Structure 1
């Protein structure tokens, strides 16, 4: 693939999303006209729950996550709480992947400003003049960009794991290295030893980040001990311990969990990065820009960088735009979030005039990892009660975890204990 042209053949659209979405209620489509960069195509979306004058728009992260299929349970939970939820299938993903002739959209069609205008078209078709806009991770960038481009249509906003600027990578680096390299802790000492033994820094960071965000130090510390035990026993450096059925299974499971960028995992209708990755690289700076120090998050997507356009600049200046957000804004931040550090949410809270910052015991993106906490916050926001949320953070943290990745921490904890028992 040439990095700029975006004309290389991509996967043909799969029939699977349409088959799986057939029984899903409320799926609708709005025609998007042809432009110089994109053919005409239909954007799919779903609306659920009792209709309200001011519904809630929920935008998933990625980019690459679908909306219609992955969040059916989330929408059921929302409807039970009386929430009117609209979720749009992102252009280039699932039910919004193909043009009118059934061909995958080109990379040239992938721009944040067009995604924002897709959402405005959805609201137009639904006869919605104003909505509460909620975005998680990459979705928070789209949500804030919608506010910058269509401020008159925003009744309130929730930014879950706020992503605001390419420059925030420096805060991400500082948090990761502070925890895992520079700290005077057993975890940091173990990480330094693994790096000295030749572990691949990119894969090591992926496992560290996933384990910490999913299960905190209670999961990460024994996992690192077991990894080092295997390294000392085999003396095999980066591949240490892979021959044993012990810690290799949990470590390998985590590597598989974080490996979607490197392997470009493609699950039609659920996660499709191969087209929307153009946004990630061209506009959000996902391409490698390493600083030469260990555990650099810039290297996460390095294996697929040559498949997408080079970084051309951000489409919005969201840190500056936040000063004009005159609607109530909730900033939801996980205490273990290593991808969008709390410093980003704190900066937005200091810039936007009407904000509430809520920290919960969680990792990245409550929509995937703690959706009941997100729904509670959305309920408060939709009722004008968002000022109560900071005092309810412990309650939100303690709610049952039912997200897309909610079961992983329990499985990983159990696997780590099982492997420790095998070694004893």
Structure 2
């Protein structure tokens, strides 16, 4: 995709050394300021979230989103060259957020961060607490050690079958691996994705299809995840450059030789990026100093930020409340923006204690069908696979 001009997307700029950092703002000045930070590293802010910004403006927010450095409209310096990897750091990304708040004359904002964006939100709170009025931490983590907690949970659930509801699918997965019908890396890529999209029922049907020699859907899911790590979708997902932040400061997990290891696909691309050097701050030590309301959003099917991680963040913050969604997976912001904005409104008002009882109603709000639609399409594909050997 080649963008001839950024004017049509409402892109504004703020100077950051030799980078004209891109950001967008929508809504009425003087309304509740909302700084929304998407995941990644590598996820675009400008193009993928146009609908979210329109919804936020209609709901009384003055919403600001910063295009992550190394991505899309913030990928290149003024001479048109890609930013060098040494310029891509968590600290620089946090200071970008502050620079945009300054440019918008916003003293304090409700900060909504999802996934890696939630990590940045916490870093902002740790280094610039005066800029935060409230916070929503959606499907995120507080330290690189949380990835080991995620892996342990996924193995107990889908490999060992500790949960009675997952014993059958775990046994089916072990049988496929023992028969050599799937590789370890494919398992690490496809199984978590299928579970997040449709839970145990969808994963059960997918494994049965593969066992019967119908691999088309399995291979498509594997290719989709591999494309996120190795390919580039300009202005949408550009991990090829921004991944330097991930491997240097935000992700340290390595394959441990055991089954169902989400570190395997990352290990394959790690040589392209700097080695892990350490986290820029101790967030678990900083979280007890967060004096503002913190809503910790957690989807029951989220395997990238499991419920135990969300509960730990909640417990470390003095005013944290867990907001559990039984029918959601990773990132409420991405898969149900209408619900995410309601969570933001309650949190901004200081009424986040009311949210846990409302999550069922929030999931039923219009505009949250994306994940359900994808899962339905996958189920239809599997149904069709019984009639066609081409799947």
Superposition TM-score tier, normalisation by shorter sequence: over 0.9
- Structure 2 residue 328 is matched with structure 1 residue 344: no
Give the equivalent residue in structure 2 for 1:57: 35
CA contact (8 A) 2:32 2:60 kept: no
Give the equivalent residue in structure 1 for 2:363: 397
- Structure 2 residue 52 is matched with structure 1 residue 69: no
Match for residue 7 of structure 2 among 22, 29, 54: 22
Note the alpha carbon deviations across 1:207-241, whole angstroms, 9 max, x for none. 111111111122111111111111xxxxxxxxxxx
CA contact (8 A) 1:17 1:94 kept: no
Match for residue 254 of structure 1 among 210, 218, 221: 221
- Structure 2 residue 241 is matched with structure 1 residue 269: no
Aligned length: 383
2:175 counterpart SS class: helix
Q: How many Å separate the matches in 2 of 1:268 and 1:376?
A: 30
- TM-score normalised over the length of structure 1: 0.87
- TM-score normalised over the length of structure 2: 0.94
Q: 1:95 Cα shift?
A: 0.4
CA contact (8 A) 2:228 2:237 kept: no
Q: 1:22 Cα shift?
A: 3.3
Give the equivalent residue in structure 2 for 1:150: 128
Q: 1:384 Cα shift?
A: 2.6
Q: How many Å separate the matches in 2 of 1:82 and 1:92?
A: 31
Match for residue 178 of structure 2 among 169, 190, 196: 196
Q: How many Å separate the matches in 1 of 2:380 and 2:290?
A: 45
Q: 1:248 Cα shift?
A: 2.4
Q: How many Å separate the matches in 2 of 1:271 and 1:300?
A: 17
Give the equivalent residue in structure 2 for 1:408: 374
Displaced runs of 4 or more, over 4 A: 401-406
CA contact (8 A) 1:371 1:403 kept: no
Give the equivalent residue in structure 2 for 1:98: 76
2:35 counterpart SS class: strand
Shift in alpha-carbon separation, 1:373–1:53, aligned structure 2, 3 A: closer
Q: How many Å separate the matches in 1 of 2:33 and 2:346?
A: 13
Q: 1:422 Cα shift?
A: 4.0
Q: 1:401 Cα shift?
A: 4.5
Note the alpha carbon deviations across 1:268-327, whole angstroms, 9 max, x for none. 1111011111110010125x5222211112212112111000000011111111010010
Match for residue 227 of structure 1 among 210, 219, 234: 210
2:250 counterpart SS class: coil
Shift in alpha-carbon separation, 1:282–1:18, aligned structure 2, 3 A: farther
